[in-house]
Amino acid sequence: MTEIVIHEVGPRDGLQVEGKVVPTQVKEAWIRGLMDSGLDIVQVGSFVHPEKVPQMADTDDLFRRLTQDAASGPRAVLSGLVLNEKGLDRALACGAEMVCLGVSASETHSRKNTGMGTEEAQRRIIATAQAAAAAGKKVQVSVQSAFGCGFEGRIPDQRVLDIVRAYVDAGLLKVSLADTAGHAFPEQVKRLFGELHKLGPVECTAHFHDTYGLGMANICAAMGEGVTIFETSFAGLGGCPFTKVAAGNVATEDLVHSLARTGRRKDIELGRLVEIAKDVAAFFGRELPGRVYRAGTLGY
């Protein structure tokens, strides 16, 4: 069976909506634990203005700390979210290994998130992504609000596919569809990824929020369409602060637990992920959306 790749986005997507700022040394410990667990990619943070998202103010420092021991052996790839040209400059300067950039298929969400409409945002993101690739970085581009928008409702499939086609035409073939508002349902997921694969040799990633309880079902539907890369968050934490209803992601440990039960990705230390999820919940002093860290794991 094709191996599933897990891109942990908890340190960025998970924490960005939290008002209680996590100290840098605590974040670093969580990220190192995630890296040591055997996950494939860990998203350290986003290169945004610290006044807009104070939780991400230490992203550059974290990258410098975490890449100091890069020569010690195989480990997770460290990714960062870049919103514009200045963000890319910061990512290049501090040693980010993978650059993630995105455009919203929702005009309303795009303006709230970036201050630009979708068309203008995509022009700038494509140019920035090409610059990152030219600098030797791994690059992933995404379509946010691909399955629906809390402000606009249904997003036409063609609008999403047109954005992906522009990426492909620009030579950007690592593409993520993000369910920013959590509106996706399995039949829609199958249809959209099925159409996306017709656009060219695209390496697809899926990012689902569990707003309406269909996150894991949507992952299964995406797998059925050949998607092999999934973005998840420790303890199910997270949500976009610029969407109407900010709700959590599918929990990383829940996905790993599910995969292990079918004999896949048993190389990932599930116990380590559960401990991190418990630590995150204790730090914020509340129960988080993830299931496995609360219910315990099944040993079969």
Instruction: Kindly report, residue by residue over 192-237, the tens digit of the pLDDT.
Output: 999 999 999 999 999 999 989 999 999 999 999 999 999 999 999 9
Residue 296 has pLDDT above 70, yes or no: yes
Q: Measured between alpha carbons, how far is 267 from 256 in angstroms, rounded to an integer?
A: 10
Q: Measured between alpha carbons, how far is 242 from 238 in angstroms, rounded to an integer?
A: 12
Cβ proximity of 113 and 104 under 8 Å: yes
The kind and range of the H/E element at 138 are strand 138-144
Q: Measured between alpha carbons, how far is 256 from 265 in angstroms, rounded to an integer?
A: 7
Q: Between the CA of residue 252 and those of 14, 36, 96, 262, what are the distances in Å?
A: 11, 14, 22, 16
Among 88, 121, 87, CA closest to 104: 121
pLDDT at 109: 76
Active site residue 220: no
CA dihedral 220, 224, 226, 230 (to 10 degrees): 0
Q: What mean pLDDT comes out for the span 226-250?
A: 80
Q: What mean pLDDT comes out for the span 60-71?
A: 85
Strand runs (DSSP E) across 21-137, as ranges?
A: 41-47, 77-82, 98-104
Q: Measured between alpha carbons, how far is 184 from 217 in angstroms, rounded to an integer?
A: 10
The kind and range of the H/E element at 59 are helix 59-66
Q: Measured between alpha carbons, how far is 32 from 280 in angstroms, rounded to an integer?
A: 14
Residue 153 has pLDDT above 90, yes or no: no
pLDDT at 110: 72
Q: Measured between alpha carbons, how far is 250 from 219 in angstroms, rounded to an integer?
A: 9
pLDDT band at residue 269, thresholds of 50, 70 and 90? very high
CATH of 5-295, one of 3.40.50.300, 3.20.20.70, 1.10.287.110, 3.40.109.10: 3.20.20.70
pLDDT at 240: 56
The one catalytic residue in 94, 149, 204, 240 is 240
Q: Which of 105-119, 133-147, 168-182, 195-209 has the lowest mean pLDDT?
A: 105-119
What b/e readout covers 233-254, taking b as 16+ CB neighbours within 10 angstroms? Answer: bbbbbbbbebbeebbbbbbbbb
